[in-house]
Every structure is written in C-alpha cells, then in structure tokens.
Amino acid sequence: MEAIKGIGVSSGIAIGRAVLLAETDGRTAFRTIPPAEVKSEISRMERSLADAKEQIVQIRNKMALRGGDEAARIFDFHIELLADQSLIGPIRNDITREFVVAEYAVSENFRKLADRFLEMGDSIFAQKAADVIDLERRLLSRLVGRTSERLATLEGPVIVIAHELTPSQTVELHRAHIVAFATDGGGLTGHTSILARALELPAVVGCGKVTTDIEDGDMVIVDGDGGVVIVRPDDGLLARYQLLAREAQHRQRVLRSDANQPSVTRDGMPISLLGNIEFPDEITTVLANGGMGVGLYRTEFLYLMSDLPPTEEDQLESYRKAIDLAAGRPLVIRTLDLGADKYTQEHLAEPERNPFLGLRSIRFCLANQEMFKTQLRALLRASAHGPIKIMLPLVTHVMELRQTRMILNDLSEELDEAGIPFDRNIPMGIMVETPAAALMARAFAHEARFFSIGTNDLIQYTLAVDRGNERVAGLYNAANPAVLALIKSVARTARHVGIDVSICGEIAGQPLFTPLLVGMGVRTLSMSPGQIPAVKRVVRGLEIEHCESLARRVGSFDSDRQVLLCLRDELRRIDPEALAGSEGG
C-alpha cells in the first residue's frame, strides 16, 4: 500500500482499477501490449500520424495566408518527417517485434532522431532537433487523445492515471465507468481541474509521481477531499473508504434534497448563489443544484475543444442556447480568457517564457482584435434573445475597458446599419483579478457596471505563486491576510459607489469561507454547480451581524493559519459536516 499526496481539486471518493494513459511531455513509460493487440496498436499509431498531419497542414496554410512564408516552411519540415519511412518504419517495427505501446515507440524513435541532430553540433541542426521534439509531443498528444477506443472496452469502475490531461481529454473521460482521475501535474485552478468539478469527477492533481508508482490494473482510491491517492490498499483501508464513500453520497443526496430552499440567512438577507459553467448544458445542473443563474460562463472552452477557432455562428449558437436555458435568470458571459494555459502555449510558434505575466486574457483579445470582434459580435447578436452581461477578464488598466467599449460601440453601429437587433444597454463589467485592479477599484467602478472578484488569479498575483505549480502549492492560500484585505477593499468600494460585486473564484464554493465573505459585504457567490447545495446550507445558518463581527476579527490576524483556525471554528458551529469538503484555498 502507498499513499500519494496531491492537490484535491474535485471532491468525492472513488474506488476502482487504474488505467494508465501515456504522458504528453516526452517521458513515456515502457509498457507492453498482448501480441493480439499489435495490429490495432499500429492502426492507432497511423491514425495519430494522419491526425497530426491534418492539424499541421491547417496551421501551415493559416500562416501562409497571413503572409508568413518563413513560418509556414517550418511546418513543411514537420510534414516531411511524418512521411519519412526511415523514422516511421522503426516505430512500426518496435510495436510489431517488441510489443510496446505506440506512445513508447514514438517517443523512443523521435528522441533518437533528435539526439542525432544535436550531435552534429550546429545551430541549424539544433533547431531541427527542437522541431523533432515539438512534433513528438504533438503526436503523443494525439495518441493520448485517442483514449476513447481503449476506455470504451473497459468494464467496471475505472480511475484514469496520467501525467497531465488537456481539457478535451478531461471531457472525454466523462463516461459511466470512469469514476475519477489523478495526474502528476496540474493545480487547483487549471482548466482540467475546473472541468473535473463541473463533471463531478473526484480528482487529485499535482501528485508528482502517480504515473511511475501505479500500474495498469492496480486497485486505487482517489480521495478528492483529502487530496490523496491510495495505491493497492489493504482490505481494512478499502472497507473504511467504501464506508466513507457511502456516507459522502448520502450527504450529497441530503444536500440536493434541500436544493430548492431559498438562499436566505437566518435574519432574512438574500444571498445569490450562481453557477460557473463551461458549456450551456450545465445550466440545467446549476438549476438542479439550487442555483439562481450563471455568474461565470467561461467561453474559452469553445476554443480549447477544437483545433480551429469557433466562428461567429458557432459562438452565437452556444450563447443563444445558454440564454434559452437561463430563461431570464442572470447570465454573465466572460470574454475569451486564453494565453496562459499550457494547451494554448503549446500551439504557439514561440511559447512565452512567462505566460501568466504575458499576452493573456483581455491583452490577448485586444492584440487579436479580429478574433475579439467575432466574439463581441456574437454576444451582441445573442443579446437580442435574452438578458446577458459581458465580463472582461484580467483587466489591469482603465484603458482596456475603454478600448473594449469603443470596439463594442463600433460593432453596434455595424449591426444597426445591417438592421440586426441587439440589446443596446448590455451591462459590461470586469473581473478583479490583480492587485492593480483591486487597488484601483474606485477608478474602475466609474467605468464598469459590475465587479466580479476572480480569486484564483488574485491569489496568484498577490502572493507571487504560480497556481499551476505543484511545487509551491502550499503557498497558494486564499486565507492569506493580504488576499483577504484586497477582497474586503473591493467589496467596500463597490458598495460605496453603488455597483454589484460578486466572487467567482474557487473560494466562493468553499463553505469554509462563506461566513467571512458575507461578513465582508459580498451578496453574490458564483461556483461550480455541485458546490451550491453545501454553500446554501451554510448561508441558511448565518446571521449578518455575526458575519460582520467575524470579518472584523479575521481582519486583525496576520497569518493564514490564524484565519483558517478561526474559520474552521465558525463552520464547525454552523455546519460541522461541511468541514470535510471545505479545506484548501
């Protein structure tokens, strides 16, 4: 038996047999297949070659259309490699003779070719080696993306073990027999973790070594609440976790049975609980869990789910569907928030050295205005079908808000001239995600119609902690007094100026923080749909005066440990059972 500690990113306990997927960073483990599967494994490898070639041809053609002939020629070399039998032949032979998985055969032969280029000691060949490694990773990503064929043949509860998963792979895991996943890399607020919560799949990420310590078929327990993966548990421990899993399921049923109770404190203050979604269909889940609407619709998943950007019509269709399902309830749609995601960086010709401080979110949109205009036009057209709010991510300067409004006004004039209807008074607000935005909240409050505090990035930028880096995960803490001071300041400013303020970061869905946030003056919380019932139960046990006293007391602390101890004591008084799923930050 072995317990591997990681970061619990999606609550719940799952027990099942491990299925190990190939890594996508070139460190593919040696694994064999039965001789009877050789033919299908070669077919899988050949399909990945065809898929990669199609993807590269599309990229090359885009570059050529933009006049980037030199950049387009880089991809010509990639296409030639995919057809080079001196490279592909040995891969096929390794699978046939050594019975190894396609991922291992691809990685070994591509690495050998890269090493030969590097041995030539010339900068030109060094660049070719880099191209080979890039192509190897692309192929491995395609192979990992082909999980459906393998997973479809499995029976019984399955737990997926991987180095990392892309958003599209995570969505693919949402099937009846897959009950959880665990990964070497990842962080609390990455796209994969967000999707795990949306899909209600227990998950532990940032484990560091699950792919090396777990083998196919191992019995595994994933404890998403405790952030631990237990490998080959003994009978006693297995029985204990089976009991814990049944208790957790019972508690969730009880919470959902009360989902339609009003979200009102004991002394009559309504607290609006909204859902964070990635896809329009999730709105039904938000409502089923007692949510009152959508506080954050993350539109970047329209881009992450495909190699080609969505068209205006694609986006319009998604937004209209969300509007129809929301049926007049709050619907806050965030504009494209891309740039720092690993998946995005892998698709750049020159990935940024520090993407979290680079061209991301609103900066990325304003630097790619044709793409941004496509989204804004779709949003304007969708607004004719029902009420929406537009929210801009990672705004750090008032001019970004003003520039976006100018673009929106220009597009409105175009739609007017074309006779296309739209809402002329769409509220536009910003996410407060950086210390700069928090400290300048008063200036922003005169330009924006509402604030939504995005605590995921606010914590990261305030504490100088990469929220996707498992090595410093312990420093990423929402209970840090500096973070809490910024949240309180923004909430106070919004209240004084008279605009709405909400919180849509992960702490909004943690019952541990609910009394404190309410005490700071926040009256709207937006979270993953599955978190709404637990937060609502806490809300119904609160009294505003007591929450405000708690906020003042917490404001005097100078360490996150003091804050957490105080909040745990408070939650234990209100709802002791909620403590099991409220840890972390």
Residue 472: closest CA among 187, 203, 228 = 187
DSSP states of 477-521: -TT-HHHHHHHHHHHHHHHHHT-EEEE-SGGGG-GGGHHHHHHTT
d(CA 307, CA 141): 12
DSSP states of 199-229: HT--EEE--SSHHHH--TT-EEEEETTTTEE
d(CA 82, CA 132): 10
d(CA 494, CA 450): 8
Residue 557: closest CA among 501, 516, 504 = 516
Return the sign of the alpha-carbon dihedral for residues 90, 93, 94, 95.
positive
Instruction: Take residue 471 and report the two structure tokens written for it.
Output: 């090595």
CB 295 within 8 A of CB 454: no
Other C-beta atoms lying within 10 Å of the C-beta of residue 82: 17
Distances (CA, A) of 569 to 536, 575, 584: 18, 10, 15
Q: Enter the DSSP assignment of 30.
A: P
Q: End-to-end CA distance of the chain, in Å? A: 29
Query: How far out from the chain centre does Cα 189 lie?
Result: 6
- Sheet harboring 228-231: ordered strands across? 2-5, 228-231, 219-223, 13-20, 158-162, 178-183, 203-205, 7-10
As beta bridge partners, residue 183 has 162
CB 31 within 8 A of CB 101: yes
Instruction: Tell me if residue 273 falls in helix, strand or coil.
Output: strand
Residue 539: closest CA among 183, 261, 235, 156 = 261
What angle (nearest 5°) sits at the alpha carbon of residue 120, between those of residues 115 and 126? 65
d(CA 26, CA 219): 26
Active-site residue, from 78, 163, 191, 546: 191
Instruction: Take residue 415 and report the two structure tokens written for it.
Output: 């739609």
Residue 504: closest CA among 488, 530, 522, 519 = 522
d(CA 372, CA 404): 9
Active-site residue, from 163, 504, 546, 547: 504
Amino acid at 314: D
Distances (CA, A) of 360 to 365, 374, 392, 449, 547: 8, 17, 12, 23, 36
d(CA 220, CA 211): 12
Strand ranges in 76-177 using DSSP code E only, listed in sequence order: 158-162
Q: Is 504 a catalytic residue?
A: yes
Instruction: Take residue 393 and report the two structure tokens written for it.
Output: 């991510």
d(CA 422, CA 444): 25
Other C-beta atoms lying within 10 Å of the C-beta of residue 367: 11
Other C-beta atoms lying within 10 Å of the C-beta of residue 71: 16
Q: Is 365 a catalytic residue?
A: no
Residues marked as catalytic: 191, 504
